[in-house]
Amino acid sequence: MRVAIISDVHANLAALEAVIADWGTVDAVWHLGDLVGYGPDPVECVERLRSLTSVSLAGNHDWAAIGRLDPSDFNALALEAIRWTARQLTPQVRSYLAGLPTMHIAGDFTLVHGSPRDPIREYVLSTSVARACFAAFDSQVCFIGHSHIPLGFRLRSDTGKVEPLPLSYAETELGADRQLINVGSVGQPRDGDPAARYLILDTDRRCYQRRRVEYPVEQTQERMRRAGLPSALWLRLAYGR
């Protein structure tokens, strides 16, 4: 089975459409949360993806936009954007976001937004956090998002050591090690490269490939500007920050 795994669309329809065009024919689409927040197209992104996804999970911005999560710990820019987002949502979109689960297990793969310990809030950015997270799921691989940074960790089957995975856009075999893999962000990358990120998983061949896709960043920036969203949020898209 060929699966497109995406996360952190953040209401960026131009980036989402570029990724959909790039993945071609897939058997399933797994979305790891944060469809909304930051960007100018929350309703359009939800409506575009809801018919495509086989699995769709809740993220912290999704919950904040519908009042299910207190956004008081968001920074000022994120808080302003989530308040704007909440005003745009239709009752149908609110209902869809409210019904999203926080975790899904598909055979050898666990899917969450943040981490298997805390699917909504926790960031996995270090080997120490990754080590603790390996004890919180049983499958071989856990796919995550949330940080907007494409990275990964493996628990070596020979030594029991947790170590970072090298970042590669070549096809990569899963091998025997257990892994935590962040698929990156479609709508707001934060690794210094503005291109949208996602991942293709081949469950039969037991391999995956990271993808980076250029999209018309200026379209999203102009829509954000016209919507009155903070300039810092749309300026950062050009720098992948």
* Each residue's pLDDT tens digit, 75-113: 999 999 999 999 999 999 999 999 999 999 999 999 999
Sign of CA dihedral 50, 39, 60, 69: negative
pLDDT average, residue stretch 116-142: 97
The pLDDT-based confidence of 51 (bands split at 50, 70, 90) is: confident
pLDDT given at position 175: 93
Statement: residue 177 has pLDDT above 90: yes
Q: Which of 128, 144, 123 is nearest to 31 (CA)?
A: 144
Helices (H), 56-169: 60-65, 76-88, 91-98, 127-134
Phi/psi of residue 141, nearest 5 degrees: -130, 140
Q: Which domain holds residue 206?
A: 2-239
pTM score above 0.85: yes
Statement: residue 72 has pLDDT above 90: no
Q: CB-based contacts of 157: which residues, under 8 Å, 6+ apart?
A: 176, 177, 178
Percent of the chain surpassing pLDDT 70: 100
Across the chain, mean pLDDT equals 96
pLDDT given at position 125: 97
User: Is the Cβ–Cβ distance between 4 and 30 less than 8 Å?
Assistant: yes
Please state, in angstroms and rounded to a whole number, the distance separating the CA atoms of residues 27 and 29: 7
Report the CATH number that the domain containing residue 67 is assigned in CATH. Answer: 3.60.21.10
* Cα separations in angstroms, 228 against 192, 213, 233, 240: 25, 27, 11, 21
pLDDT given at position 241: 85
Helix (H) or strand (E) holding 234: helix 231-235
Q: Which of 189, 236, 230 is nearest to 18 (CA)?
A: 189
pLDDT in tens, 184-198: 999 999 999 999 999
Higher pLDDT, 31 or 240: 31
| Cβ count near 138 (within 10 Å) | 12
The pLDDT-based confidence of 12 (bands split at 50, 70, 90) is: very high
DSSP 185: -
User: Is the Cβ–Cβ distance between 179 and 165 less than 8 Å?
Assistant: yes
pLDDT given at position 23: 97
Please state, in angstroms and rounded to a whole number, the distance separating the CA atoms of residues 196 and 120: 22
pLDDT in tens, 207-238: 999 999 999 999 999 999 999 999 999 999 99
The pLDDT-based confidence of 240 (bands split at 50, 70, 90) is: confident
Tokens found for residue 54: 């086989």
Please give the tally of structural domains in the chain: 1
Length of the chain (residues): 241
Phi/psi of residue 144, nearest 5 degrees: -135, 170
Percent of the chain surpassing pLDDT 90: 97
* Structure-token match 């049983």, residue found: 138
The pLDDT-based confidence of 122 (bands split at 50, 70, 90) is: very high
* Structure-token match 């930051």, residue found: 38
